[in-house]
Amino acid sequence: GQKQSATEEPEEIDEGAVLVAKVEDFKTSKKLRTTVNDREIVVFHHLGKHHALDLRCYHSGGPLHLGEIEDIDGRACVICPWHKFKIVLESGEGLYQGVDPREPKRTKKWFSKGVKQRTHKVTVRNGGVYVTLSDTSTMWCDSDTYAKEKFIDQPCPD
Ligand code: FES
């Protein structure tokens, strides 16, 4: 068989890391919906890497665990099923397509709006997948709006 190119085997697990799944859970589904310390999270397994993000889209709270993964300009993105916003798995950046007015040909290109969706650290150890929530006090992310308690009480449509 083929050799797995990307391996994740970090040394240590953070103190606040929470076990959310086993590595083998991603054999049947490439995404997993979970809750870490009352925060709704989606974990994607894409091209040998795990990515954890806030579950509800920064735009209007759409269910990202129901989104498809697409390659946009060489970056793996989840496409929100509600209004098709594109979010980079690795960074949580929102991408949009536009025209650079300085460019004479006016071809459409992809631009970043900056980090919009909060990402969380994933650690894989001994067959377990752990998520460490990122520190919400150091930086605001638009997705924080939908990660609050009042939204948690509402079932995510799926
Ligand atoms: Fe995700 Fe609108 S809620 S694109």
- At 100-134, the pLDDT tens digits run 888 888 889 999 999 999 999 999 999 999 999 99
Mean pLDDT of 44-60: 97
Which position has the higher pLDDT, 146 or 157?
Answer: 146
- CATH code, domain carrying 74: 2.102.10.10
pLDDT, one tens digit per residue, over 53-82 is 999 999 999 999 999 999 999 999 999 999
Residue 74 belongs to a domain: yes
Domains contained in the chain, number: 1
Q: Hey, what amino acid is at 157?
A: P
Q: Is 97 touching ligand 1 by the criterion CB < 6 Å?
A: no
What ipTM was estimated for this complex?
A: 0.99
Distance 102 CA to ligand 1 centre (A): 30
Q: Whose CA is nearest to atom 4 of ligand 1?
A: 83
Q: Name which of 131, 118, 121, 115 is nearest 33 in CA terms.
A: 131
Distance 79 CA to ligand 1 centre (A): 9
CA gap 135, 43 in Å, rounded: 18
Residue 157 belongs to a domain: no
Mean pLDDT of 73-92: 97
Q: Is 109 touching ligand 1 by the criterion CB < 6 Å?
A: no
Distance 119 CA to ligand 1 centre (A): 17
